[in-house]
Amino acid sequence: MASIDDFRIESHNLLMELDAATMRMMMLVSARCVSGPDWDAASKRQHDAYESWDKFINFPSGAMPSNAPFTN
């Protein structure tokens, strides 16, 4: 099992990306830019960040070998 510090570091990294992706979308909303290529890219980034976080946090307990790094 990976250490709690490994979990915390990876969790922090994934949440930082999710927060940044969500903030980008909110900036586009404020700029009234909710369609087009910029919106599509921001939406995909936010979706991917959420999927990575969900996959990480819902990983089956004990299923990861101790020498495997956390991945998204």
The pLDDT value given to residue 15: 96
Identify whether the C-beta of residue 15 lies closer than 8 Å to the C-beta of residue 7: no
Is the confidence at residue 1, as pLDDT, over 60?
Answer: no
Return the C-alpha torsion angle 56, 40, 43, 27, nearest 10: 140
The pLDDT value given to residue 72: 45
**pTM across the whole model:** 0.75
Please give the Cα distance from 27 to 62 (Å, whole number). Answer: 39
E strands along 1-72, which residues?
Answer: none
Please give the Cα distance from 43 to 49 (Å, whole number). Answer: 10
14-72 per-position pLDDT tens digit: 999 999 999 999 999 999 999 999 999 999 999 999 999 999 999 876 555 454 555 44
The pLDDT value given to residue 63: 58
CA atoms within a 13 Å half-sphere pointing along the CA-CB vector of 69: 4
51 versus 1: the higher-pLDDT residue is: 51
